[in-house]
Chain A
Amino acid sequence: EVQLVESGGGLIQPGGSLRLSCAASGLTVSSNYMSWVRQAPGKGLEWVSVIYSGSSTYYADSVKGRFTISRDNSKNTVYLQMNSLRAEDTAVYYCARQRVELITGTPPYFDYWGQGTLVTVSS
């Protein structure tokens, strides 16, 4: 059974930093496309970042230059380092596996999600 467990959220002042973790079991993060998706209170879903199995990383324009995605293969964990936090970064942050089937060419989709961790940026 696949499980993704996020941690590291909390209350942080504007301009501060926070690191989120996503511990995976039942899948190997280094062999998968792992993303962070966030949801501001009462709002819709916003994709934040992805790390490919080959280690390439990509970011939404709203977080580029402030957030960094990484992984620790030995811990089977994905991280999101968030710097220069702003009030508009307040959200529940979900870790999700983006299934990519290169051989069949099936369009990618998010099939496993964590339970989310709440980040509140406020003074």
Chain B
Amino acid sequence: DIQMTQSPSSLSASVGDRVTITCRASQSISSYLNWYQQKPGKAPNLLIYAASSLQSGVPSRFSGSGSGTDFTLIISSLQPEDFATYYCQQSRSTVTVSFGQGTKLEIK
């Protein structure tokens, strides 16, 4: 099975900051990598698919990059509504989907 490891597990930042979250796969997954945002008590919301494609309706301050085993989610200028938990997810195999452990983004 493919293991996904995110770093950091938690992060404190201020409004306006540039934030970077990384995700590493235990084997190459090409660009089969998605990013989700989850707020407390809510379902996850798709931000980025195929490593770098912005989901419709998602603000352009969110961007993704990477391929193979190393991936990055960048928030260019944090807004108050961005404080949430972020998950990466590999879809190299639809049979055994796996998520990273999550990165909790908190207000400094």
Contact = CB atoms under 8 A, between A and B. Distances in A.
Contacts of B31: 107
Given A44-B87, A107-B32, A107-B33, A58 B95 contact: yes
Interface in B60-108: 87, 89, 91-92, 94-102
A108 interface: yes
A109 to B, nearest CB: 4
A94 B46 CA distance: 14
A109 B99 contact: no
Interface in A104-121: 106-111, 113-116
Q: Secondary structure of the A side of the interface?
A: strand
A94 B36 CA distance: 14
A108 B32 CA distance: 7
A52 B94 CA distance: 9
Contacts, number: 71
Interface in B27-58: 30-34, 36, 38, 42-46, 49-51, 53, 55
Given A45-B99, A94-B43, A106 B94 contact: no
**Range, interface on chain B:** 20 to 34
Q: Secondary structure of the B side of the interface?
A: loop
B95 A107 contact: no
Interface of B: 30-34, 36, 38, 42-46, 49-51, 53, 55, 87, 89, 91-92, 94-102
Given A94-B44, A109-B91, A110-B36, 20 more contacts: A44-B100, A44-B101, A45-B87, A45-B99, A47-B96, A50-B95, A58-B95, A58-B96, A60-B96, A98-B91, A98-B94, A98-B97, A100-B94, A106-B53, A107-B32, A107-B50, A107-B91, A107-B92, A111-B49, A116-B43
Interface of A: 33, 35, 44-47, 50, 52, 58, 60, 94, 96, 98, 100, 106-111, 113-116
